[in-house]
Structures are given as C-alpha cells and as structure tokens.
Structure 1
C-alpha cells in the first residue's frame, strides 16, 4: 500500500468571484485500484496530474482542493483490494480530514472495491465517480444516489447493443464464451478475470431475463485449446450464434479452434467485443494476423464469420484530443516510467482518459454551484451528483454524455473484415437515440452491405432447419411435421420479411416466398405421385 504522506493540493480557477471572502476546501480521495496492473496505475496518476493542471488553469482560486491517492501493492489482485479500499477511505474520512471540507471519491476500476466505496459514499453522502463498467447494480440510484460512472462502456450497454444487433437479424438463441485467461500482462480490454466474468454474468443475465434471449455461457481458459474445443462442442448443441467476451489476443485462437471444428462454414456467426483500440495492439486488439504459427490464411478465412463490436472512436481525430494525448504520454514516460508509451505511437486507454474526464466534470460542476448564487449545498453529494447527470460535456473535442441516472453512454460500431482482412463499419448504434442503422462509406455515402460467411446473401439461421442436433428431420428430408426443406425455408423468409415492414427488402422477400411456395407445391405433388 502506498499512501502519500503529503497531501496533493489543487486550485480550481474561473471567473472573478466577489461574493466569497475565502476559498472553499475540497478533499479528494483518488483510488487507482486496477488489480495487478501497474500500467493502469501509472497512467491513472498521470491523468490525475493533467486533470489537476486543468483545474488550476481554468477555475481560479475559489476552491482549494486537497486529497490523497490510494495505490495498491503490485501483487494485489482486484478481489484483494475491497477491504483495503474501505480501510483507506474510513481512515481518511474519520482521522485525516480537518475542518469541514467538501469530499469526493474518484475510482476504482475493480468491481469489489468500487461497490464497497459506493456504499460508503452513499452513507456519507459524498460524490463518487468510478471507471468500473461491470456491475449492473450501479444502475440503482436509490441505492447509489451519489454514484457517477465514467467508464468508456458499461456492461448494460453491451447487453443493449447486443440485443439490438441480435433482434435485427432474428436471433434469439446464443452461446457465450467467457475467457478468463490471465497472463503476466494485465493491460487488456478486461484488466482482470474478475471484470471479464462480471461483464459475462451481466450480459448473460440481461439477455435472458430482460430480452428473453436464450443465453448459455461457458467459462473457458483460452490458453487451454482442449477446453476451448469442448466448450465450442457444447455450443454446437444449443446455438449457432456465438458471443465471445475475451481479451483481443484470445479471439484468433478461438476462431482457429472453431475453424478446425468446421464451425466457420457459414452456418455459424460470431460476435466479439473490442470496446476500444488497446494501447498495446498485441495484447488487446482483434486481428487474424500472427507471424508465429503459419496459420494466417486459415485465420483470415475464419474471421469472415466474425463481427467486431466496439465503441465509436471518432473523437480521436479531433484536434484537441490529438494535441492532448502526446503530452499525457510524455508525462507517463518521464514521471512514472511506464514502458508501454516509450515509442509514443500507442493509444491512450479510454479508462485512463476517464479519470481526466472525472476531474474536469467535477470541477465544472463545483464551479457552477459555487457561483450560481442559489445557495446550493456543496456538502450534499446527491445534489452535486444530480447536477452532473443528464448532460453532455465537451472535453477535448469529445462529447461525454452522462444520462439521467448518472451513467456515461457511448455510441457503438459493428464491423466485419473486408476482402483484405481489415475491419470496416457496417452498422452503427446511437446510445442517446437507441437506434441501429447501416453505416455509410465515407467516400461516396453509399450504405455498406454486410457480407455473410461463404458469401451468403442472408444471415445464418438462428436454428438449422433440422434443429441444432439434426433431430427435427426424418430420413426423407422432411421435418417431423411433414414439411420439406422448402416449406421451412418459406416460413423462415416470411418471418424475415415481417421484420422488414415497409422496406424495399420486404417486397423482394415476399416475392421469393411466393416462388418457393409454388416450387414446394409442385415438388410435393411429384413426391406423392412417385411415392417418395
């Protein structure tokens, strides 16, 4: 445990204030609890430094902010830091603060300490701004009235986006692969197995309980190839849609295992999450390419069955953001010695940026309350938090939307590999509008078309015509109800047409259904005449 002996002092700046005789004391508790992830710990400290610099530059001397940073030992995992966080917070709250300062907490990434600290924040009525994404219980603002989540994505968002995508293609049965692999490098999309499993449970429960989608999930250790194969074999018996929640560098081995099992033949479709482009591409990003095993051609072909779901990163092209990140990388390198930014060509993690956004938003809110003349109580953490909610903030050119329940919401992109193996957007989801729409080519504004596995013109079926295990058909090719393949195909297409109400696609599908029904009728007459 590392607790600074000397408090860090910040000064918040702003307009000229003439109604206050003295500064207001603000005490911050900053928690960098990421679970055996020194990269994230060092990055968090640098983000706080830049946030404090922003406050000194923008808001003047009205608010005098002091506080402490709480950092775990590098060997402490996420699940080890829950009681530590409570001990640190209680000691600071009851023993180390002097006078009557306005209090707030920033952090943490790990689920258990985040929940523990949120309970303390509720009891003490102080704001807490966390970067944790995995606990859907944080949605309950009667229980957590002072909690604001600034994670670049939430487990609930993952479920909503998935539901929109699945329902768009007529899917209501899925298998979920949850990879809990933990290597020596803990800087991936899910900094700990605990966070990955938390997201898995949330997605599975939400799809099943709220959206009525049959979701079976399987815990795998992706480095164990046989374990992956066994889980895929089980999924074959219950689903044709596979959702993969894993570190980006685990997707390729999983897809190769699926290819070896003939599960990339066009009958299956896979959705994997890459919430953001990771600072270390070899750790977190999804790619078919690897120069080590000689299977790139197979992997590239297997990836034609894979879709990637990620948050929109259009803000990275904004001049403000592009000017800011090199300075942050410089600070990380020179002050905290993080080796991952030595090359200066790597992306900054959105989780790191969330700490900076937290200080920016909190400073703006306090400034508004202190200068409004309305007499609002800065000690009322619930009131401070509510003022931060249901608003859009523009920070470094990026729009940060905090919804009415205190959760940041991001837009999402559905991508698939093009003929060169490069992922291209094919659909976009707007969190505020809650709609899914096709992506457009930036060159000619044309709608990008989805290319289904094996160049099929339509999505793989939710369930094979003869069932997942092939038990719904008789030996003559009819299903158990006496229908032929063509009868069932007509039913499936008719259902698809009904979901395209009012679109040009509906007319084309209905015409196809009529042709299939006519062909099936003729075929059945000949079968009866020939007794086949």
Structure 2
C-alpha cells in the first residue's frame, strides 16, 4: 500500500502498524505513521546492546490468546543477529510444568537472559517453576514484553490473593518489564472521554446497550492524531498558497507533517513526529517495586530516532544479575 500511495502521490498515515520501508523516503515519500507501539525489534536490540547482553534465550507462550506476542516474537528474533546478539528460541505451552522445566533447563545451558513473550498467567507459572529450580536467585533475568495493562491483556503482578503469592513475589525480583506503549500519550483523559462519547453514539444509533469489546484506545488515539495532523498540514498549505496544485499533493503534505512537535492536538499530550515520519515513543522499563503487587516503572526514556536506550545503563548497572 505504501508503494501504491507513493506512486500516486497520496498521503498515507497508518495508525495500526508500520514497517522499515517508512525510512526509505525515495521509495515511500508519502508514508507516515502514528502507531501507538514502538518498534519491538529496535527497542529490544537497543536495550540488549546497552546492557551488553550478547546471548539471550527467547521463549513464546503458545497459549497466549492474542497474536501480538507471536508477532513481536518473530520481529525480535529476526533482528537479534543483526544487532550482534546470539540467541536460542523456542515455543511452548507455559502453563504446562513439564514443558516449562524443559525450556528452563535448555535456557540455563545457553544463557542467563530470557526474553519472555506471553501474557501474565504464563509468566506467573513460568516463574513458579523457575523458583522451584532455583533460577530466580539473581543469576538469571527475565525480560517480559508488555502489550497493554488492562483487563483484556492482563496485569503483570504477583498479587492475586492466592496461596502462592509470596513465592511469586520473590520470583518477580528477577523480572524486568518492557512496555512499548506510552499509555500517558495513547490513553489520555481527552481520548477516553471521546471514546465514551463514541460508545454512547453507537448505543443510541444501533439500539445496543452493551459493546462486545472495549474500544481500542491506543488505535483510536493514533487514528485521531493522524487525522488532526493531516488536517493541520492541509490548512497550513492553503494558508501559504491559497489554493493547492492539482493532484493529491501527498509529498508536500507529508513534508509538512514530518520532523515537528504537536503540542495541542485534541487527543492530548505532546506528539513528536520524527524526520522519518514515525511518532517518537516513550518506552518504559519496570521492575519489582515493593508491596503494591505491581511492577513499577523505573525509567521512562523518550527515544531519539536512532537510539532508544541512552541512559538505562545507569539504572541497571548495579543489578545482581550476571551478564552473558
């Protein structure tokens, strides 16, 4: 689609995803993106390089109920070798203790850094088995990638008011949680208010009292931001020229949107559009925080276009986890 849009000089702003071709301005001169999620492969590679982790073990929970983790798993493992990281990878049902033991034994032989791709229940059981195998005592680190912290995707926490909570609590001290979504930007009060307004309109128009699912706030935010940015570009172009040249003017509009900061969009927050046409994301790294049952954010870093993790070494350097 991006090639098609570029060939016909049509502005294309995606809000649900992007790809590496967006950086090729000659091939895709009209392609921009307001997608909510930072590039998983770029972020993970930058983090591993910053922490000097050169060998990792990647595991995908085959029982995860969303396709997001499978997608991110494939994206990350496809790029690890390119960023100088040797890896082993596996897919297994992480609710099955015998499968988890097999994975952990293989992991212990090959690395000390485990990249976990799956939902909170899978990680909880994985950590319980790891604890039984004495693999949560500081010699291993488990880096889990988080999609959204909500009822649908779950919350990474040890506190479920179960009898094994204390065991999981101790094991969680070996976990780092990487969030690729800036929920303060892609879930602002203004967009949540707008979401409720749209839900009310849907109920009145279709005589429906219950929505089958919650509205996807991050996707709504990205779509709304894209519409606003496009509208601003058109208004600015008209103000300069009074009338636009014939055609779709995609290149001109894309150039007006790139490499600028939007402070007052209706969706709220500050959107920074980079020179490659990608919104720059704040990524968060969290670890076990204390008695509240949730992982707490230790560091929020707004990335440049070339380096996501500039100062995290200061945060992690004192970790008791042995590096590979």
Q: Distance in 1 between matches of 2:28 and 2:97?
A: 42
Query: Matches of residues 55-134 of structure 1 in structure 2 within 5 Å?
Result: 117-133=1-17
Compute the displacement of 1:214 (Å): 1.2
Q: Residues of 2 paired with 1:333 and 1:260: CA distance?
A: 50
Of 153, 167, 174 in structure 2, the residue corresponding to residue 283 of structure 1 is 153
Asked whether the 8 Å contact 1:325–1:348 carries over to 2, the reply is no
1:212 Cα shift? Answer: 0.7
Q: Residue 416 of structure 1: CA displacement?
A: 0.9
Task: For 1:254-293, list aligned pairs within 5 A.
Answer: 254-278=126-150, 280=151, 283-291=153-161
Larger RCO: 1 or 2 (CA < 8 Å, sep 6+): 2
Q: Give the C-alpha shift of residue 179 in structure 1.
A: 2.9
Structure-2 residue corresponding to 1:404: 275
Decide whether the 8 Å contact of 1:135 with 1:202 is kept in 2.
Answer: no
Q: Which moved more, 1:423-432 or 1:134-143?
A: 134-143
User: SS of 1:121's equivalent?
Assistant: helix
Report the Cα distance in structure 2 between the residues aligned to 1:180 and 1:401, rounded to whole angstroms.
36
2:31 to 147, 154, 163: 147
Per the normalisation by structure 1, the TM-score is 0.52
Residue 368 of structure 1 pairs with residue 244 of structure 2: no
**Contact 2:16–2:222 (Cα < 8 Å) also in 1:** no
**Distance change >3 Å, CA 137–CA 323, structure 1 → 2:** closer
Residue 83 (structure 1) aligns with: none
Q: CA deviation at 1:275?
A: 4.2
Q: SS of 2:142's equivalent?
A: strand
Instruction: Give the CA deviation at 1:248.
Output: 4.1
Instruction: Tell me the residue number matched to 2:311.
Output: 437
- Contact residue 249 and residue 283 of structure 1 kept, 8 A: no
Q: 1:3-35 CA deviation, whole Å, 9 max, x = no partner? A: xxxxxxxxxxxxxxxxxxxxxxxxxxxxxxxxx
Where 2:228 maps in the other structure, the secondary structure is helix
Distance 1:254 1:246 in 2: 10
Q: Is the contact between residue 178 and residue 219 of structure 1 (CA under 8 Å) also seen in structure 2?
A: yes
1:205 to 78, 99, 111: 78
Residues 422 and 405 of structure 1, relative CA distance in 2, 3 Å threshold: same
What is the total number of aligned residue pairs between the two structures? 311
Q: Indicate the SS of the match to 1:234.
A: helix
Structure 2 residues without counterparts, runs of 5 or longer? 204-209
Partner of 2:202: 335
Q: Name the structure 2 match of 1:304.
A: 173
Equivalence map 1:136-175=2 (5 Å): 136-155=20-39, 158-175=40-57
Unaligned runs of 5+ in 1: 1-116, 184-191, 342-346, 440-446, 464-532
Aligned pair 1:386/2:255, yes or no?
yes
Residue of structure 2 in register with 1:230 after alignment = 102
SS at match of 1:398: coil
Q: CA deviation at 1:398?
A: 0.9
Distance 2:253 2:57 in 1: 42
Which structure has the larger Rg? 1
What do the CA deviations read for 1:122-154 (whole angstroms, capped 9, x no partner)? 343322222233644444344333221211123
If the length of structure 2 is used for normalisation, what is the TM-score?
Answer: 0.82
Asked if 1:326 corresponds to 2:204, the answer is no
Q: Which residue of 2 aligns with 1:461?
A: 322
User: How far apart in 1 are the matches of 2:186 and 2:9?
Assistant: 36
How well do the aligned residues superpose, as a CA RMSD in angstroms?
A: 3.1
